[in-house]
Amino acid sequence: MRRQIMKSDTAAKPGPAAPTPVEPSDESIKSDEVFSTAAELFSLLSTPIRLKIISSLCHGEKNVSQLLGDIETTQPNMSQHLSTLYRAGVLGKRRDATQIYYRIESERAATLCRAVCTQIAFEIDHEVDGAPDGRLTPRGPARS
């Protein structure tokens, strides 16, 4: 539902000149929604283990034991990250007897993960834009 913005914040005065509601432009709403959604997704993908999980599952569904074979971490830590990704809708899961298999549910997240990680790997391999270890380098204070 769209929120209406009033042209005037003052209380309506008696007479014909009452404030008229103004709808935010579709462009500003879309822009806000795009940036908000992107920020949520980047926040969700802000830990290396979650990126590794998504990368591993891009090759097909796996159970926790298989994921632990691909990713060095503890079982409780893996389960916590899988749960977070599942609750966010990035992963889906199915039970087969005692095993739970996870799969990519959000192609948006998988595509973003693949694009960003592929670009960074390329830059590291070719020593492009950044520190030798591939990390962002902080700059000193801006000079006038």
Q: What is the pLDDT of residue 31?
A: 86
Could you state, in order of their start, the residue ranges of all structural domains in the chain?
48-126
Each residue's pLDDT tens digit, 73-123? 999 999 999 999 999 999 999 999 999 999 999 999 999 999 999 998 998
How many whole angstroms from its chain centre is CA 97?
32
> What strands, in cross-sheet order, belong to the sheet with 99-104?
62-63, 99-104, 91-96
- Position with higher pLDDT, 52 vs 133: 52
| CA distances in angstroms from 125 to 61, 76, 83, 129, listed in the order given | 29, 33, 33, 11
* pTM for the structure as a whole: 0.68
- Position with higher pLDDT, 57 vs 11: 57
CATH of domain 48-126: 1.10.10.10
Q: What is the pLDDT of residue 32?
A: 85
